[in-house]
Chain A
Amino acid sequence: MVADLVAGPLFGVTATLTAYALAQVLYLRSGMVLLNPVVVSVAGIVTLLLLAEIPYTHYAAGGRVVLFLLGPAVVALAVPLYQRRQEILAQKVPILAGVAVGAVTSVITAAGLAWLLGASREVVWSLAPKSVTTPVAIGIAEKIGGVAPLTASVVVLTGCLGAVCGPEFCRWIGIREPTALGLAIGTASHGIGTARVLEFDRIGGAVSGLAIGLNGLLTAFLLPLIYLVFR
């Protein structure tokens, strides 16, 4: 009886929402950026699954339901973009140039560093699309001989990194202007980074969302070409 319940979607949805609600309280009370709600929720759920010996597939039945909402949330980014269209159009040159420089930097530093550190061929190509949003990154990885699940994991890791220390890092290196900050975090750490920016700034979040789309588009065209040269 209980086993059936744990195998259904109710378990995964309940676990995700409960973990997130608790993690949010912890995050707000402690005020520590390291206790990012996504990171803490993931750690909590993984611990629960391991301790209670619940198979991942049971959790995923409900996880998929929560993940589904990511689709309409991405579509909804059109709303702040539309509301701030004048400010964004006025900044179109810095925005396009910033994303282009970021896309190239991401591919070169991720793949290049992994290669220098002696990573295998598959790992090098799996890391190359790491700053792109998950569905695009997986599509690219499959085209260039990467391992799709490894790419997906690295993409999540990149996103958490940007969400945990992105705004602090940007301010520390002198990037304080909301458009530039949102653009930097969106280009580097896609949706997870964008979610963090949306917490404190709507215009920065909108630009961050725009950067996800632009970076995905650019990397999807650029990386297969780089692969043809270096494979």
Chain B
Amino acid sequence: MLIRGLAVLLLFQFIGEGLSTSLDLPIPGSVVGMGFLLLALGLGIVRVEWLKAAAELLLSHMALFFVPAGVGVMVHFDLIAREWLPIVLATVVSTFAVMAATGWTAKSLSIRRKDGC
């Protein structure tokens, strides 16, 4: 079951990467693949039972896959060091601003819908 699930996931990533590269899409292949897999699940072409074990394994350890990307930052440390203050300040403030803006927007809209207005 695990291998079947991984094979399906890789197959959809392959389709996604292929489309993203050949059509020069601004979205990465894996995200395109996610969209197609969602479609295939909805149409009943792929059964969710095939994917459960593989998806569980990958999603519960997703943070691990970002570690190499983090280590990659050290190579470009000089780029950040040159203008570190605006870079760090803008990044920190902006990240919190986005969380507040998105969270409050979603919250206020969903509450309004529940009230029936």
B74-91 CB contacts (< 8 Å) to partner A = 74-76, 79-80, 83, 85-91
Q: How far is the CA of A118 from the CA of B95 in the complex (A)?
A: 19
Q: Which of B16, B42, B102 is close to A187, meaning CB atoms less than 8 Å apart?
A: B102
In the complex, what's the smallest C-beta–C-beta distance from B59 to chain A, in angstroms?
A: 6
Residue B3 at the chain A interface, CB threshold 8 Å: no
A71-116 CB contacts (< 8 Å) to partner B = 71-83, 85, 91, 93-95, 97-99, 101-102, 105-106, 109-111, 113-114
Looking at chain A's contact residues, is the secondary structure mostly helix, strand, loop, or mixed?
helix
Q: Which of B26, B62, B68, B113 is close to A63, meaning CB atoms less than 8 Å apart?
A: B68
Residue A123 at the chain B interface, CB threshold 8 Å: yes
Flag if B87 contacts A69 (CB, 8 Å).
no
Flag if A158 contacts B91 (CB, 8 Å).
yes
The size class of the interface chain B forms with chain A is 35 or more
Produce 1/0 per residue, A109-136, CB < 8 A to B: 1110110011110010001001101111
- Given A147-B79, A150-B76, A161-B95: A117 and B63 interface contact (C-beta under 8 Å): no
- Given A37-B63, A41-B67, A76-B51: A162 and B31 interface contact (C-beta under 8 Å): no
Q: Which residues of B contact A179 (CB under 8 A)?
A: 106, 110
Give the B-binding residues of A (Cβ under 8 A): 12, 16-17, 19-20, 37-39, 41-42, 45-46, 49, 56, 59-60, 63-64, 66-67, 69-83, 85, 91, 93-95, 97-99, 101-102, 105-106, 109-111, 113-114, 117-120, 123, 127, 130-131, 133-136, 139-140, 147, 149-150, 152-154, 156-163, 166, 169-170, 173-175, 177, 179-181, 183-185, 187-189, 191-192, 194-196, 198-199, 205, 209, 211-213, 216-217, 220-221
Shortest 4 CB-CB contacts between residues of A and residues of B: A63-B68, A184-B103, A220-B26, A102-B102
Give the A-binding residues of B (Cβ under 8 A): 6, 9-10, 12-13, 16-17, 26-31, 33-35, 37-38, 41-42, 48, 51-52, 54-55, 58-60, 62-76, 79-80, 83, 85-107, 109-110, 113
